[in-house]
């Protein structure tokens, strides 16, 4: 038989010389109820006919869609892509499919995508919030839909949270820069807005500097759409700073700061540079840029694990859980002030000789 373009379940049953009920059980998660020989016949028939089960129809009929929804604030952000990979892998391993919506940091698009995902009867939602969709999310939670807030959380929503331990990340950054001999620190960030990680990072930065008499610093926001802003901010900072270092709040800011320092002729190491988020190019820019890498794979997998635990948990609802992961320090040449000073002294000695 020549495979039809859209083979039906009934055609598979005829090809396998089996009942429609048996084929439905095979693709519906009840294969153990069929004999091994019948399973083989159905599998072979499905391959010959290129049969693809309609997951949506099966879900509507059986009450389970086997779909997990995910909203990301900006799919162009490397962090979003990396975490999404972990979510998708975990879904696939557990027999779920992933539906992804990109809001482009637009609260209106966020509300639209939430309604769309709910219409597909997703069994859980992973949310990287762009705005403050608290009312919409709480309404979904009240209907029994499991939610996990990723990276950015909303205090008014009763939902599990998975993300980076931002306070610990800033502590690690400041401790590393202080050990390396830097004394003037600039915390460079995109405007905090409604992004809770940015708020937590700069708040922790200010708390630490208030208790460190030997460190001086300031926080500056880098507005998008202003290509010269980073260079102007860094030029002002370097004019007064002694043993300066720049702590970048995320990967986008790290890239902007690297370009600005290169334009100013600053040498990395002499001016410290440390970015939160590991990007592929960070180790390629001489002498390598020090980063705090987030465990994106673990964060994505943990989000799915918490969703499915809520789905499978037969006990009364438990309070929301917060799972925070530590960052990993990748120390490179951009924060080696001592090494730069030694090389600089040797160069001076050679010139004097």
| pLDDT value for 57 | 54
79 pLDDT band, cuts 50/70/90, is confident
C-beta atoms surrounding 107 within 10 Å: 14
| pLDDT value for 194 | 60
pTM of the model: 0.77
User: Rounded CA gap, 306 and 138, in Å?
Assistant: 17
In terms of average pLDDT, the best of 60-69, 124-133, 210-219 is 210-219
The CA-atom distances, in angstroms, between 24 and each of 8, 58, 160 are 11, 9, 35
For the chain, domains (ranges, CATH) are 9-53 (1.10.260.40), 64-164+297-326 (3.40.50.2300), 166-293+329-352 (3.40.50.2300)
237 in Cβ contact with 265 (< 8 Å): no
9 in Cβ contact with 23 (< 8 Å): yes
Arithmetic mean of pLDDT over the chain: 85
């Amino acid at each position: 038989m020549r495979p039809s373009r859209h083979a039906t379940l009934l055609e598979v049953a005829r090809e396998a010389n089996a009942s429609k009920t048996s084929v439905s059980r095979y693709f519906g998660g009840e294969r153990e109820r069929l004999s091994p020989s019948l399973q083989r016949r159905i599998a072979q028939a499905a391959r010959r006919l290129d049969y693809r089960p309609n997951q949506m129809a099966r879900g509507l009929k059986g009450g389970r869609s086997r779909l997990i929804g995910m909203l990301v604030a900006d799919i162009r952000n490397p962090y979003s892509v990396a975490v999404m990979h972990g979510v998708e892998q975990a879904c696939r391993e557990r027999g779920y499919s992933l539906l992804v919506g990109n809001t482009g940091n637009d609260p209106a698009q966020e509300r639209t995508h939430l309604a769309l995902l709910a219409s597909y009867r997703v069994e859980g939602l992973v949310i990287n919030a762009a705005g403050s969709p608290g009312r919409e999310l709480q309404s979904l939670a009240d209907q029994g839909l499991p939610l996990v807030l990723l990276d950015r959380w909303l205090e008014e929503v009763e939902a599990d949270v998975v993300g980076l331990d931002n306070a610990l990340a800033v502590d690690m950054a400041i401790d590393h820069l202080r050990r390396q001999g830097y004394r003037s620190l600039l915390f460079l960030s995109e405007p905090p807005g409604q992004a809770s990680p940015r708020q937590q990072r700069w708040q922790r930065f200010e708390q630490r500097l208030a208790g460190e008499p030997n460190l001086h610093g300031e926080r500056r926001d880098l507005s998008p759409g202003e290509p010269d802003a980073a260079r102007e901010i860094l030029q002002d900072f370097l004019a007064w700073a002694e043993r300066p270092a720049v702590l970048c709040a995320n990967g986008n800011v790290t890239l902007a700061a690297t370009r600005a320092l290169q334009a100013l002729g600053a040498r990395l190491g002499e001016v410290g540079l440390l970015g939160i988020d590991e990007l592929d190019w960070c180790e390629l820019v001489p002498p390598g840029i020090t980063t705090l890498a987030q465990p994106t794979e673990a964060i994505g997998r943990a989000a799915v694990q918490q969703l499915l635990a809520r789905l499978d948990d037969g006990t009364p609802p438990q309070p929301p859980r917060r799972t925070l992961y530590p960052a990993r320090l990748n120390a490179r040449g951009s924060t080696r002030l001592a090494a730069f000073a030694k090389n600089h002294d040797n160069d001076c000695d050679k010139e004097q000789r």
